[in-house]
């Protein structure tokens, strides 16, 4: 995913798609992925999660192969949204210290993503997509030996519906993120004229710093509490987001981009642990799926809007809209969850 965050938009551009069409395709990918995720999360709670993780990885493998063949529409099935929440539930089942396990997982994931961020320097776009096929197959094989204790629950009620509804703040975050985040490599290209190879080290450094800070956020949460850690880091990230589109050159933009990415995403393991602690075990798959769905649908709309503005030559307004949406979501999150700090 480290390499894909750089090359997907540029690869689609090389296939003849416009910025608007790229945004629409990215939107459709998130939309389809979110529906698949929701369905798999419910099925995982009913029949066990492992088998549906495998199905999700298999679908992603096939879609990357067709994308490698130059079929743009195949992208919409490449996102393994369905595997994420189910894997978190599997990890929660086996973990003695969930915060640290999620922090370690996040750090390792990002460290591998750093390696991927360097691929565009010496591998062409189609070569990276072929590697995507191989890597997804390896990821699928690694899941096979995992033994799952949870065999499914035939009850589909969601007793934690009140808690889950509060995570609608993720819908606001998703809309804001969709406006600019999937299009960042395209923004760098349109704003400063840099190539994928030139921006590759920036994305790699961004991922590398995030890898260490992700585990650090777990330690920070032990001191400040989970809610305050999330709110404080997000607030700093929002300030930098407003400054990013005003950057006078590629170097300053890169520094702000790296810092903002770290501050906004370093608390992912803290957030995921917080969510899982609030949800009963038998409901974790579908609850996680619903939260992801609430976040994903608005995120699906975002790239089309961002792509429209970029296509019109407006490279600033989408960042400001995202900043205001992030601010609103962060305030709501603090108001709704400040009393749950002790969990």
Over residues 151-175, the pLDDT tens digits come to 766 666 666 677 778 888 888 888 8
Predicted confidence at residue 324, as pLDDT, reads 95
| pTM summary value | 0.71
How many CA atoms lie within 13 Å of 269's alpha carbon, on the beta-carbon side?
Answer: 31
Predicted confidence at residue 81, as pLDDT, reads 54
- Over residues 117-134, the pLDDT tens digits come to 788 888 888 899 999 899
**Is the distance from CB of 102 to CB of 277 less than 8 angstroms?**
no
Mean pLDDT of 173-181: 87
d(CA 132, CA 81): 16
- Domains of the chain: residue spans and CATH: 1-146 (no CATH), 158-342 (1.20.1250.20)
Predicted confidence at residue 204, as pLDDT, reads 81
- Over residues 209-232, the pLDDT tens digits come to 887 787 788 888 888 888 899 999
Q: Which carries the bigger pLDDT value, residue 144 or residue 151?
A: 144
For tokens 């199905």, what's the residue?
55
- Over residues 94-121, the pLDDT tens digits come to 777 777 777 777 778 778 877 887 888 8
């Amino acid at each position: 995913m480290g390499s894909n965050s750089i090359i997907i938009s540029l690869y689609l551009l090389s296939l003849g798609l416009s910025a608007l069409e790229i945004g629409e395709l990215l939107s459709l990918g998130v939309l389809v992925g979110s529906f698949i995720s929701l369905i798999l999360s419910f099925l995982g709670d009913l029949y066990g999660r492992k088998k549906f993780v495998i199905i999700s990885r298999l679908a992603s493998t096939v879609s990357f192969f067709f994308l490698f063949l130059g079929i743009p529409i195949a992208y919409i099935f490449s996102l393994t949204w369905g595997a994420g929440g189910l894997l978190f539930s599997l990890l929660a089942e086996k973990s003695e210290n969930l915060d640290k396990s999620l922090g370690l997982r996040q750090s390792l994931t990002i460290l591998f993503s750093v390696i991927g961020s360097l691929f565009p320097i010496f591998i062409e776009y189609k070569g990276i997509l072929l590697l995507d096929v191989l890597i997804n197959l390896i990821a699928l094989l690694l899941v096979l030996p995992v033994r799952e204790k949870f065999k499914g629950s035939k009850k589909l009620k969601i007793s934690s519906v009140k808690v889950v509804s509060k995570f609608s703040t993720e819908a606001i975050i998703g809309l804001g993120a969709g406006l600019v985040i999937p299009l960042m490599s395209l923004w760098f290209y349109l704003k400063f004229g840099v190539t994928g190879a030139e921006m590759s080290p920036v994305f790699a450094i961004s991922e590398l710093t995030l890898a260490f800070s992700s585990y650090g956020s777990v330690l920070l949460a032990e001191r400040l509490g989970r809610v305050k850690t999330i709110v404080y880091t997000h607030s700093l990230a929002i300030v930098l987001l407003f400054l990013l589109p005003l950057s006078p050159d590629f170097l300053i933009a890169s520094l702000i981009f790296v810092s903002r990415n770290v501050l906004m995403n370093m608390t992912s393991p803290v957030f995921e642990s917080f969510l899982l602690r609030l949800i009963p075990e038998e409901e974790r798959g579908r609850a996680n799926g619903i939260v992801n769905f609430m976040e994903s649908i608005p995120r699906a709309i975002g790239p089309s809007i961002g792509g429209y503005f970029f296509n019109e030559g407006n490279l600033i307004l989408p960042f400001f809209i995202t900043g205001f949406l992030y601010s609103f979501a962060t305030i709501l999150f603090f108001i709704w969850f400040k009393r749950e700090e002790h969990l």
